[in-house]
Structure 1
Amino acid sequence: MKADTMNIDQLKIGLEIHCQLTNLNTKLFCRCLCNYRNSQPNENTCPICLGLPGALPLLNKRAVEFAAMICLAFNCSIPSKISFYRKNYFYPDLPKNFQITQYNSYELSSIGYKGLYDFERGLPDDSKRSSVENKKPSIRIARIQLEEDPGKIVYEDDNSSLNTYSLIDYNRAGVALVEIVTEPDFTNPSDVRIFLNEIINIFEYLNVCDPALEGSIRCDVNVSIKGGKKVEIKNISSFKDVEKSIHYEITRQKTLVMHDIKVQAETRHWDEKRKITISARSKEEEEDYKYFPEPDIPRISLEGEMFTSKLKSQMHELPDERLERYKNTFKITPHTARILVNSKRISDFFEESLKYYHSPVEVSNWIVNELLTKVNELEKSETSKTTTNRLSDSFMSPRLIASMAQLVEEKKINRNMAREIFDNCLRTGEDPHEMIKRLDTQKISNTEDIVSLIKKIISDQPHLVGQSKNNSNVSNFILGLIMKDTQGKADPQVAMNLIREILSKSD
């Protein structure tokens, strides 16, 4: 039985998504730089993030605001007060032997709880379920919590199961991390990947994280089948591997059940080379971590509705809001609007293009049907690396797209000619208006010039007049001759109107 066809009551998948708040300047509890990636090992540290005796944490206020924005994006409730706990366990990447995090036990500690994500909003419009029975369930967000990232273990070899030693880099220790914990509501590995891609998009729109940075977004997966024990999968490096690891773990657990072997609650690591999960340790229970309130950080008051109202006024437009604006205000088709908003970079490019020429439908069609098609072709070609780099700079500019849309919509060039010019502009960066002047490719719309061409054709082939009385295709034939003589420069609409007028007046 494939995982995709497994009874949804038998398969349960939950996620723990970790997002570094990379757009902060400093770490969560100290003034060390949040951007540690260009530092030498253990260079970006201080007594606070190293947990030295006597060093006291000072909470980053902006980190709390970023985390709360994420909560609002996922429709979570935000308490009026939050607090931090010590999660005690020994692991070499924790310099203090505990992690400062949040924990909903003795009180409501997390910054967000009981959220809800409408799964189908992340699907393409043609993939959405038409009936209530087939509609995908919403994904419940159990909690969203703010915590510090541990350091990074650097292994001797990429395959951690074969290493004899490892090194520790504490530059990452103390970086602000938001953990999103879902309920086990996923029943299909492919849905997990769609959800993760949508989450990345939301983070980009909120401007709290740069997902392109290595390790900025990580995901742990919890999988169980047939009501069995929960298995956690860690160390998954990409979202593609998240889906692969789930498929593997489902197969592994089903095989155990088939042989009457109990599935053990454990933590397993994903071996990227062999594409299998490997047992790492038995699964800890909550009590094993010995949570207790962090004595060096008092409870923080968030000022209730005043706090959330202020944040909402600061938040950028979210994908769903932008999608509705594109469809309702700009009258862009749902399919085209979805393609635009599914990438903030492309959507921002579209918005910038409208500043040069405000024709949303024409500009969006040029971006989706022409620009993205060309970019995809270049990325697949052998020379894509340098060409794509150039496109990402001046050659793929909003001004260029706006110019193409304007030239076509104002009928200065026909669409086929526009595509040729567009290809040349992408390669050279030349302005379309300048290229038209240089190549003398602007449409011939002067009626006297076109009338002269029509009369010459009729004079050379007088039988066309008689045939036109019973054959409407004669007009198209004459238009084709005109386009050939003018090398496609004649305005076809103007030319066709003149052809019909002249033929109707001819004997």
Structure 2
Amino acid sequence: MSGFETIIGLEVHVQLNTQTKIFCSCPTSFGESPNTNVCPTCLGLPGALPVLNREVLKKAIQFGTAINATINQNSIFARKNYFYPDLPKAYQISQFEIPIVGKGTLDIEVGGQTKTIGITRAHMEEDAGKNIHEDDYSKVDLNRACTPLLEIVSEPDMRSSDEAIAYLKKLHSIVRFIGISDANMQEGSFRCDANVSIRPKGDSALYTRVEIKNLNSFRFIQKAIEYEVERQIQAWEDNKYAQEVVQETRLFDTQRGITRSMRGKEEAADYRYFPDPDLLPVVIDSALLEEGRQIAELPDEKRQRYIEELGIKASDAVVLTSDLEMATYFEAMIAGGASPKLSVTWLSVELLGRLKAEASLQNCGISPQTLSTLVQRIQEDKISGKGAKEILDILIEQKGGDVDLLIASLGLMQVNDDGAILQAIEEVLEANADKVSEYKNGKDKLFGFFVGQVMKNTKGANPARVNELLKEKLG
């Protein structure tokens, strides 16, 4: 690959989490029986008319605000004509000439370097249905038809699969943090089409691009891009580039790890765009624009706040803001009174380190309030770190529980009474006078022995306090 440069542009389809569809009042709930969330409008029956969902406009404005984009207060819906079994109208209502969101930018970090990726546009459109292929026949489920989508189109600014994945993960994080989509890739709420081409290094021309369609996992997106780049380079080096690399749509075969031809790539003219006669031009008034401008804290802002206000290390702040559930869980812990720094350790290292692959923060059974209580008991010296780990193991096993009851029932409450600790120290030193003499003659390693004996006799004294008082006594 040393003699070639990769050119990547991405088109991301984000399902917006409105309660109802973009042009009708059918619910957008996932997993219902096939063809039950449908009506004459999303079935494309003659005479049915679309009515725009205001919430879709608000969420589109929120996204535009998050990427510092131009918001077009006047935009137009168009008909994009094409024929597929899952598109009963034989056209898709989308936006073409004037989208709701204009040019914006997104900063990514790869290999310690920050790069700005341009976003060309983000436009509203309706989703198609879903084809289900079984044995020798196919079925069509139109529950998804008319679900609101935001299609986000990047500039061809990415030069590697690593940059593409960094961009997608950043985009995925933003739409979840501002609350416009659950972005569940397994359910198709966040899916990507990748446009890939190559050129000799130093060349400024753009050569034939290939679109890889409907990718819905970061791992498969990366593998598909890498395979396609390899395929195009091989064709170029074999002097078969013009014959083998044609403008087309390809699919990624996840079993074989290759891309394969699906159909010829359409140009804009092939779709015969024209303004939808059933929908008025979209006019966003100042009240709706202001409402849409109110967005939740973005991941980068949250990360910076954690570092500056909570004293969290930069690397830990990156981990905490990599996922919305993680950040929400962490903030609930510190709201309950836990130390931010201890919360980082007990959440990202102790709790997540113990969860099995199929478990998550949502289904592990341990609420942020429970973990916050455990951390606070460590802060209050009521329990040792070792004892807290023992309790955490039990909480995971039984999917929750009362921290204070577990501390009491297991006898893990630390002794913090100086009088009781001093009495134990006196007893240990009297019983081991010979070792005390050895210690005072330079055998420093015996200090650990004395600590161990005191801890054993007190059955749970505060180790830090034992060390302090023992040093004073032996000094």
TM-score when scaled to structure 1?
0.86
Q: Percent identity among equivalent residues?
A: 37
- The counterpart of 1:491, out of the listed 441, 462, 470, is 462
* Cα distance in 2 for residues equivalent to 1:393 and 1:91: 39
Alignment of 1:70-469 (within 5 A): 70-104=63-97, 109-120=98-109, 127-129=111-113, 136-156=114-134, 165-212=137-184, 214-226=187-199, 227-261=206-240, 262=242, 263-303=245-285, 306-313=287-294, 315-375=295-355, 378-379=356-357, 385=358, 388=359, 392-393=362-363, 395-428=365-398, 429-469=400-440
- Residue equivalent to 1:14: 9
Q: Deviations over 1:428-468 (max 9, x none)?
A: 32322111111222112222322222222222222344444
Alpha-carbon contact 2:15-2:181 (below 8 Å) kept: yes
AA matched with 1:20: Q
**Is the alpha carbon distance of 1:181 and 1:362 closer, same or farther for their aligned partners in structure 2, counting shifts above 3 Å?**
same
* Cα distance in 2 for residues equivalent to 1:32 and 1:302: 24
AA matched with 2:474: L
Q: 1:394: Cα distance to partner?
A: 7.1
SS at match of 1:329: helix
AA matched with 1:422: L
SS at match of 1:79: coil
Alpha-carbon contact 2:190-2:216 (below 8 Å) kept: no
Q: 1:357: Cα distance to partner?
A: 1.7
- Residue equivalent to 2:51: 58
Query: 5+ unaligned residues in a row in structure 1: which ranges?
Result: 130-135, 158-163, 380-384
* Cα distance in 2 for residues equivalent to 1:119 and 1:501: 54
* Cα distance in 2 for residues equivalent to 1:393 and 1:154: 30
Alpha-carbon contact 1:336-1:365 (below 8 Å) kept: no
Alpha-carbon contact 1:77-1:115 (below 8 Å) kept: yes
Q: 1:17: Cα distance to partner?
A: 0.5
* Cα distance in 2 for residues equivalent to 1:307 and 1:355: 32
Alpha-carbon contact 1:36-1:44 (below 8 Å) kept: no
Alpha-carbon contact 2:93-2:125 (below 8 Å) kept: yes
Alpha-carbon contact 1:148-1:173 (below 8 Å) kept: yes
* Cα distance in 1 for residues equivalent to 2:40 and 2:384: 67
* Cα distance in 2 for residues equivalent to 1:235 and 1:426: 38
- Residue equivalent to 1:132: none
* Cα distance in 2 for residues equivalent to 1:6 and 1:197: 28
Alpha-carbon contact 2:95-2:124 (below 8 Å) kept: yes
* Cα distance in 2 for residues equivalent to 1:175 and 1:459: 79
- Residue equivalent to 2:203: none
* Cα distance in 2 for residues equivalent to 1:477 and 1:28: 72
**Is the alpha carbon distance of 1:33 and 1:286 closer, same or farther for their aligned partners in structure 2, counting shifts above 3 Å?**
same
Q: 1:500: Cα distance to partner?
A: 2.5
* Cα distance in 2 for residues equivalent to 1:257 and 1:468: 77
* Cα distance in 1 for residues equivalent to 2:374 and 2:86: 54
AA matched with 1:184: P
Count of paired positions: 463
Q: 1:473: Cα distance to partner?
A: 4.1
- Residue equivalent to 2:202: none
AA matched with 2:124: L
- Residue equivalent to 2:24: 30
Structure with higher helix content: 1
Q: Deviations over 1:221-271 (max 9, x none)?
A: 101111420111113342221111111111111121122121211111222
- The counterpart of 1:501, out of the listed 462, 472, 475, is 472
Q: 1:299: Cα distance to partner?
A: 1.3
SS at match of 1:113: coil
Cα RMSD over matched residues? 2.1
SS at match of 1:143: strand
**Is the alpha carbon distance of 1:90 and 1:465 closer, same or farther for their aligned partners in structure 2, counting shifts above 3 Å?**
closer
Alpha-carbon contact 2:364-2:396 (below 8 Å) kept: no
TM-score when scaled to structure 2?
0.92
* Cα distance in 1 for residues equivalent to 2:100 and 2:391: 53
Alpha-carbon contact 1:24-1:62 (below 8 Å) kept: yes
**Is the alpha carbon distance of 1:358 and 1:408 closer, same or farther for their aligned partners in structure 2, counting shifts above 3 Å?**
closer
AA matched with 1:312: R
* Cα distance in 1 for residues equivalent to 2:142 and 2:415: 68
AA matched with 1:194: A
Alpha-carbon contact 2:108-2:170 (below 8 Å) kept: no
